[in-house]
Structure 1
Amino acid sequence: MTAATPQPIAISRHQGLDAIELKSPDGARATVLLHGAHLLSWVPAGGEEQLYVSPKTAYANGEAIRGGVPVIFPQFSTRGPLKRHGFARSKPWQLVSAEQGADDALAVLRLTDDAASRMFWPHAFELELSVRISGRELQIELACENKGDTAFDFTSALHTYLRVHDLDSSSVEGLSGLQYEDSAAGGELKRQRVELLLPGGDLDRIYHGLKQDLTLKEQLINRGRQLLIRQQGFEDTVVWNPGAEKCAQLPDMPADGYQHMLCIEAAQIRQPVQLAPGESWVGMQTLVQA
């Protein structure tokens, strides 16, 4: 039997911006903006929305979007001379391909250096973000190639905002025993002794050396929820929630928004990626609705 020919997906519009609406044959759906290669939505086959996007966020060229999966590159947070979280999340990306296959849907987007980026970060690079959905699984892959003639290093993350119905009923399994930087406590190094129960005020931790899968769990009154989280290539994991006080100070978040989201980010922070001319790096985050 001949395999079905992949069907191309045309660019559409979402919130006034160019977008790709992915849909796999089994009903899984995702929305990716060309602005920032920003994944806004993921609905597994037969499931519900798994990502959180603030209802107060702006959708405008050059502006970062609060929620979904921002691409952090080439600088994490304020750990360097660039603006917070770098420039990739607020620049227009080029669509390489978007298609529906026999059992999945895939979009690939690309960002390369230009005169504007070289003013702040004087390196020749090529980023590619691939988003693949199939059934109850989402794969997000970020690849970087040094296209110049000098070496460079960078830090990066997939700043994934996960939707929760109730933060009080949520927990994260798989972090026990790991060392972490407690950014909410000035970067103090600590060790996770037990599974992470939520909430607890301002939560901003960078866990180092994650080897095993994580599981986000919610125990609701009439049902439970589990989301498996796996990463490859990324050596760090950020767990972040602003808590009530800081959330109220964010202009692009509702005051109670912290109760409905938790960031679990595949990241490369403690040890920056170093690329010689012609070298490449790849990192991936996979989410599976159990």
Structure 2
Amino acid sequence: MSSYDLLKGINGLDKILIRDATATGCSAEVYLYGAHVTSWKNDHGEEELLFVSSKSIFDPPKAIRGGIPICFPQFSNHGTLPSHGFARNRFWTIDNDPPPFPTNASETAFVDLILKPSEDDMKIWPHSFEFRRRVALGPGGDLILKSRIRNTNNEGEPFSFTFANHTYFSVSDISGVRVEGLKTLDYLDNLQKMKRFTEHGDAITFASEVDRIYLSTPAKISILDHEKKRSFVLRKDGLPDAVVWNPWDKKAKSMADFGDDEYKHMVCVEAAAIEKPITLKPGEEWNGTLELSTV
């Protein structure tokens, strides 16, 4: 089941290659730095399904640009911590003796990782926690991300956090991409000081920068890539919100770790819990699951 290899990645950083022994070509790659998924290939014989910038700097403490960064315990700059929190800037460890995630016959290969706060983390966010993360392959090479966050504070203090799987999907041309499943929903527009609007379009399309948090979203969202005649399907549980982001040309040029024209070949659709922070009392645990597939 947990069939993986520990290898050296870019700049000598440790990475894990997860392979499905029952299906050729299915794989996922995750760096211990940030528990950051940087590659996903399924058995449709397709090329790389995630976008990672050619300019990404694999050099801690800088976060990796692309793939699937984890935003925890804070999404974006909606709080007092550095933007997107610190989980994506920390070295995780392989969790060889985890309280098991519910065993699931649909997981053909996986690795379990764990993050606990360092003394420095406690200075900026004074809460004891255990964050367990399973990166798994499912039938046909579906990518499954499971997150478990437990409050281990002994002092009886609850804590609250926001969270996102900041997924960068690889697309052929952003002008031919449609995000479906969010019609009639309210969203907060980050380009208009988080003002609240209602989505009226059948699908979200892209002709300029988009940076929105959709609220109370369905369990299933689809991304249609017209040119490739391919759809990504996100299925999520415990993650009520969804972020849709493309930086477009001006923002792309302002990011040192992002190619000027790379915005054309990526879209972020993120399963998240942002509007209503999750609060855990001591001993309580939160679970969030994201499953990605293509059709």
Could you tell me how far apart the structure 2 residues matched to 1:170 and 1:151 are?
41
Name the SS of the counterpart of 1:190 in structure 2.
Answer: strand
Name the SS of the counterpart of 1:10 in structure 2.
Answer: strand
Amino acid at match of 2:167: T
Could you tell me how far apart the structure 1 residues matched to 2:3 and 2:226 are?
40
The equivalent residue for 1:132 is: 136
The equivalent residue for 1:170 is: 177
Q: How does 1:127-166 map to 2 (within 5 A)?
A: 127-134=131-138, 135-149=140-154, 150-166=157-173
| Alignment partner of 1:13 is 2:12 | no
Match of 1:216 among 212, 223, 230: 223
Could you tell me how far apart the structure 1 residues matched to 2:204 and 2:19 are?
34
Q: Closer, same or farther in 2 for the Cα pair 1:87/1:212, shift >3 Å? A: closer
Q: Closer, same or farther in 2 for the Cα pair 1:47/1:279, shift >3 Å? A: same
Name the SS of the counterpart of 1:154 in structure 2.
Answer: strand
Match of 1:116 among 114, 120, 125: 120
Amino acid at match of 2:124: F
Structure 1: runs of 5+ lacking an equivalent: 1-5
Q: How does 1:5-44 map to 2 (within 5 A)?
A: 6=1, 8-15=3-10, 16-25=12-21, 26-27=23-24, 28-44=26-42
Name the SS of the counterpart of 1:239 in structure 2.
Answer: strand
Query: Which digits, 9 at most, give the CA deviation of each residue in 1:205-244, with x for residues without a partner?
Result: 0000012411110111xx5111111111011100001111
Q: How does 1:1-290 map to 2 (within 5 A)?
A: 6=1, 8-15=3-10, 16-25=12-21, 26-27=23-24, 28-45=26-43, 46-97=45-96, 104-134=108-138, 135-149=140-154, 150-220=157-227, 223-290=228-295
Question: CA RMSD for the aligned pairs?
Answer: 1.6
TM-score, normalised with respect to structure 1: 0.93
Q: Closer, same or farther in 2 for the Cα pair 1:10/1:181, shift >3 Å? A: same
Query: Which digits, 9 at most, give the CA deviation of each residue in 1:222-269, with x for residues without a partner?
Result: x51111111110111000011111111111111001101000001111
**1:270 to partner: Cα distance:** 0.6
Amino acid at match of 2:191: A
TM-score, normalised with respect to structure 2: 0.92
**Could you say which structure has the higher strand fraction?**
1
The equivalent residue for 1:3 is: none
Q: Closer, same or farther in 2 for the Cα pair 1:49/1:153, shift >3 Å? A: same
Q: Closer, same or farther in 2 for the Cα pair 1:102/1:263, shift >3 Å? A: closer
Query: Which digits, 9 at most, give the CA deviation of each residue in 1:55-83, with x for residues without a partner?
Result: 00111122201000001100111111111
The equivalent residue for 2:102 is: none
Name the SS of the counterpart of 1:50 in structure 2.
Answer: coil
Q: Closer, same or farther in 2 for the Cα pair 1:225/1:116, shift >3 Å? A: same
Number of paired residues? 281
Report if the CA contact (8 A) 1:180-1:207 is conserved: yes
